[in-house]
Structure 1
Amino acid sequence: MAAEQQAPSILGFPHRPEWGATAHRRAVAGHLRRCRNHAGLGTGRAAECIGASPATISRMETGLASLKTADVSHLLDEYSVRDPAERQRIALLVHEAAQPEVWQPYAHGAPDSLRPLLAMEPAARRIISYEPQLVPGWLQTEEYARIVIRATHPTLPAGEIEERVRLRCARIDMLRRETDPPTLLAVMDSEVFRRQVGTPGVMYRQIQYLLTLLDELRYRIRLHIAPLSVGAAGAIGHPIVHLRFFSPDYLPDMVYLEQYEGALYREKPSDSERYQAVLNHLCGVATPADQTASLLQEALATWR
């Protein structure tokens, strides 16, 4: 019973600017909800405290609304959060939550449906991805990405296509950072290397790039290739991305399901576990990662 009555703490969530604004905002949002519940207050009373509506409190507590320093301070007073260390950490996180999102330098090239994934992936400890049709976006060369984006969105202005290309190719940089980079575990269908995107030269350089990345980021990328023999296990018709974060007590797993016209996101534990099981099975039936370089060398030879 004593453990249940213990006041919630935010000290387990560090101040990490490289994780991005959204991760910090969502961590504070969940903490504010826990503090309010611990204080035994409803959203109506919390709303009165800052002169807002209960709907605003709900949005703040789900990470959908921006966090104002003064509002958060008043709420902490109302929730009897007095510990200086707690309040200092919250102030740091609120400051970080107000910074530009990681996709904002590429705002014109960041589709609305992709922004939640772009915003959260820098905070991931591990990313598992399945791609049945193409090289995963993080691992594409500029010319490969340009052809894919133009084929998928033929009516986009050239400038917007170029911005999308720059954004897509910049995402690999989070795997290069020195402090706690995410680990990417990617599964690709073997047919990806038989499906010609652009010219044979484009395919050759794309496969060369994959080999370079496997060497450069050997402890940060694990790439599996699923042959046709995996059968029904590989018959998933759309990409799946599963994110697990460095601070799972504050940030629940996220699943991204790409659709032709948009995307779906799943964060319920039951959904996360289900898709993780699907991805784990694909990793298990695909070719082991330590054989991927040899398979890529074989594929490279077909495009000379």
Structure 2
Amino acid sequence: MAADQQAPSILGFPHRPEWGAAAHRKALAGHLRRCRDHARIGTRQAARCIDTSESTLSRMETGLAALKPPDVKRLLDEYGVRDPEERTRIALLVREAAQPDAWQPYAHAAPPTLRPLLAMEPAARRIISYEPQLVPGWLQTAEYARIVIRAGHPTMPAGEVEDRIRLRMQRIAMLRRQTDPPTLLAVMDSEVFQREVGSPGVMHRQIEHLLKLLEELPYRLRLHIAPLSVGAAGAIGHPVVHLRFFADDYLPDMVYLEQYESALYREKPSETERYQAVLNNLVGVANPIEQTATLLQQALTEWRKRCR
């Protein structure tokens, strides 16, 4: 009886289609690994149970391989998971995990290095973003995004550029949803509003867009502007995104570190906590959020003068 009481449970992870397939897949994958550990069954025996290799089982247990309903059922049988409620919830999560990820309608345009972030951000409870050079992708206007994408990919076909723009534009939808929307805490260097992207008109409209978003999403979008005086605290040098999820017990924090043509992801608690501390420090030394609208209005005035 004691062993049954200690058995891992998935009932604390809800069925939330708006969180996306990747979140359900990762939560379920981790749960299957915990069930195997609880049953004291090795990877070789578990892999043999579903006629696959240990490497494929490992990918299943990390959310990198598809979770097929017959395989999951056989694994649950092998692990001694009998509770009908548990098995019903697992079956529901397996179906959700098989749905397309957020980036898949734009598969040919979504950079492979960005796909894990795109797939997991809809499930986030809180997103902290630091951007030293540009307006973060979630908050860009289409014309600003077009210029940024074209600058980084001058030979990219026009159709692919437009698909990337559409993908970028739909990311803000998660902040507008009615059920469990994440909070986006974005920190930008003040230089972002001094650097001309495209033309003064493009910058003017981009800053107007930010002001409108702050009015539309007052509790879901929190924007800090970091002055140059923050010194070493702002010398990170590349964009950083920290994701914390609604279901903390099932989904570990994720950190995305953008490079010029690649990206790094971190999920070990020791690493994600370190980046969270760095970002929290940056938020602490940036201008207070109450000053953001005023600073944006000042930048808007300067770009309006250049438009004449």
Q: Same fold (TM over 0.5)?
A: yes
Superposition map of 1:165-204 within 5 A: 165-204=165-204
**CA distance in structure 2 between the aligned counterparts of 1:3 and 1:172, rounded to whole angstroms:** 45
For residue 38 of structure 2, what is the aligned residue in structure 1? Answer: 38
For residue 16 of structure 1, what is the aligned residue in structure 2? Answer: 16
For residue 258 of structure 2, what is the aligned residue in structure 1? Answer: 258
Q: Name the Cα RMSD after superposition.
A: 1.2
8 A contact 1:129–1:242 mirrored in 2: yes
**CA distance in structure 2 between the aligned counterparts of 1:36 and 1:200, rounded to whole angstroms:** 59
For residue 7 of structure 2, what is the aligned residue in structure 1? Answer: 7
User: Matched residue of 1:130: which SS?
Assistant: strand
Deviation of 1:215 after TM superposition, in Å, equals: 0.3
For residue 301 of structure 1, what is the aligned residue in structure 2? Answer: 301
User: Matched residue of 1:127: which SS?
Assistant: strand
**CA distance in structure 1 between the aligned counterparts of 2:231 and 2:297, rounded to whole angstroms:** 24
Superposition map of 1:46-65 within 5 A: 46-65=46-65
Query: Which consecutive segments of 4 or more residues in structure 1 shift more than 4 A?
Result: 2-5
The two structures have a TM-score, normalised by structure 2, of 0.97
Q: Does 1:229 align with 2:229?
A: yes
Structure 2 unaligned spans of 5+? none
**CA distance in structure 1 between the aligned counterparts of 2:297 and 2:97, rounded to whole angstroms:** 44
For 1:218, give the aligned amino acid. Answer: P
Structure 1 unaligned spans of 5+? none
Deviation of 1:191 after TM superposition, in Å, equals: 0.4
- Give me the identity figure in percent: 79
Superposition map of 1:236-255 within 5 A: 236-255=236-255
For residue 160 of structure 1, what is the aligned residue in structure 2? Answer: 160
For 2:116, give the aligned amino acid. Answer: P
**CA distance in structure 2 between the aligned counterparts of 1:214 and 1:124, rounded to whole angstroms:** 20
For residue 136 of structure 1, what is the aligned residue in structure 2? Answer: 136
Deviation of 1:119 after TM superposition, in Å, equals: 0.2
Cα 1:189–1:175 change in 2 (3 A) is same
The two structures have a TM-score, normalised by structure 1, of 0.98
User: Matched residue of 1:238: which SS?
Assistant: coil
For residue 68 of structure 1, what is the aligned residue in structure 2? Answer: 68
For 2:108, give the aligned amino acid. Answer: H
User: Matched residue of 2:258: which SS?
Assistant: strand
For residue 122 of structure 2, what is the aligned residue in structure 1? Answer: 122
Cα offsets for 1:217-270 (capped at 9, x unmatched): 001000000001101111111000000000011100000000001100000001
How many residue pairs were aligned? 304
**CA distance in structure 2 between the aligned counterparts of 1:108 and 1:199, rounded to whole angstroms:** 29
Cα 1:132–1:168 change in 2 (3 A) is same
For residue 103 of structure 1, what is the aligned residue in structure 2? Answer: 103
8 A contact 1:5–1:38 mirrored in 2: no
For 1:294, give the aligned amino acid. Answer: T
**CA distance in structure 1 between the aligned counterparts of 2:214 and 2:109, rounded to whole angstroms:** 27
User: Matched residue of 2:236: which SS?
Assistant: coil
Deviation of 1:69 after TM superposition, in Å, equals: 0.1
User: Matched residue of 1:185: which SS?
Assistant: strand
For residue 148 of structure 1, what is the aligned residue in structure 2? Answer: 148
User: Matched residue of 1:125: which SS?
Assistant: strand
For 2:281, give the aligned amino acid. Answer: H
Deviation of 1:53 after TM superposition, in Å, equals: 1.3
**CA distance in structure 2 between the aligned counterparts of 1:3 and 1:195, rounded to whole angstroms:** 61
